[in-house]
Structure 1
Amino acid sequence: LITERPKMLEHIVLTKEVNNEGVYLVRICKNGKWITVMLDDCFPCTSWKTLAFTQAKRRQLYVPLIEKACAKLFGSYSNLTSGQTAEAMQLFTGAPCDYIHIEKQNDNPMEDEQVDPDVLWAKLLSACDFDVHFIVISDL
């Protein structure tokens, strides 16, 4: 999401260039409040001298910087596991997020709690009209 939206990246990563001091500023929205996090350029690495956690395909620095800012806000890298996509969207956009979980619970579809597909489709189209970010994930 961030890679595809350069203005979002500019809003989050405040330090625009690699610097000799190794100090970077990243802005994250936590609990509805934008927080600027100051970071150094030291990252946890494996014994093979690769980044221990997130790695960018083209070795962009912003990926581990944003992850480190989140780890700092949440207390550690281990506290970043098992999060929901909606939580990440709130951290990076500051906007409230809806989470709609659609899953077949029973063999009888009439017993499942149903989401009205017309209402869901209308919400998605409305999001497009207002340039609102949305993510659809499926494990089917």
Structure 2
Amino acid sequence: ISPSNVTQGSLGDCWFVSSISAVASKPELVRKLILTQEVDPAGVYILRLCKDGVWKTVIVDDLLPCDEFNCPVFAQVSQGIVEPDISL
């Protein structure tokens, strides 16, 4: 993920987008935060996130909410960029 490829969805999540962009500039950090390194056929992924200074392990799935045009409402990579999706 390149910092310049992260775009905001229709939600007011600019705080999230700026955080993802900052982390994206450090590939070694991305590898430490995304514990599931391969595509999971079941769509389950394990991440490490820090909230209020406390690190937590979080399990997420790959089911993403979309708008009426079938576009993700959360942060995403720029159109036409083929990279792992940051929406997870």
State the TM-score, normalizing by the size of structure 2: 0.65
Does residue 88 of structure 2 align to residue 60 of structure 1? Answer: no
Shift of 1:31: 1.9
What residue in structure 1 maps to residue 48 of structure 2? 27
Amino acid at match of 2:23: I
Shift of 1:59: 4.7
Residue by residue over 1:60-79, the C-alpha shift from the partner in whole angstroms, topping out at 9 and shown as x without a partner, is: 345111xxxxxxxxxxxxxx
Does residue 71 of structure 2 align to residue 50 of structure 1? Answer: yes
Instruction: Note the residue ranges of structure 2 that are not aligned, 5 or more in a row.
Output: 1-21
- The structure showing larger relative contact order (alpha-carbon pairs under 8 Å, at least 6 residues apart) is 2
Supply the distance in 1 between the matched residues of 2:24 and 2:82 (Cα, whole angstroms). 13
What residue in structure 2 maps to residue 111 of structure 1? none
Amino acid at match of 2:87: P
What residue in structure 1 maps to residue 25 of structure 2? 4
Indicate the RMSD between aligned Cα atoms, in angstroms: 1.5
1:18 alignment partner, one of 39, 43, 47: 39
Identity of aligned pairs, percent? 34
Supply the distance in 1 between the matched residues of 2:47 and 2:24 (Cα, whole angstroms). 15
Supply the distance in 2 between the matched residues of 1:52 and 1:18 (Cα, whole angstroms). 22
What count of residue pairs does the alignment treat as equivalent? 65
What residue in structure 2 maps to residue 75 of structure 1? none
What residue in structure 2 maps to residue 92 of structure 1? none
Instruction: Note the residue ranges of structure 1 that are not aligned, 5 or more in a row.
Output: 66-140
Shift of 1:13: 1.0
Classify the secondary structure of the residue corresponding to 1:63: coil
State the TM-score, normalizing by the size of structure 1: 0.43
Task: Kindly indicate whether the alpha-carbon contact (under 8 Å) linking 1:13 and 1:62 is maintained by their aligned counterparts in 2.
Answer: no
Shift of 1:30: 1.3
Supply the distance in 1 between the matched residues of 2:34 and 2:24 (Cα, whole angstroms). 12
| Alignment CA distance shift 1:36-1:59 (3 Å) | farther
The structure with the greater share of residues assigned to strand is: 2
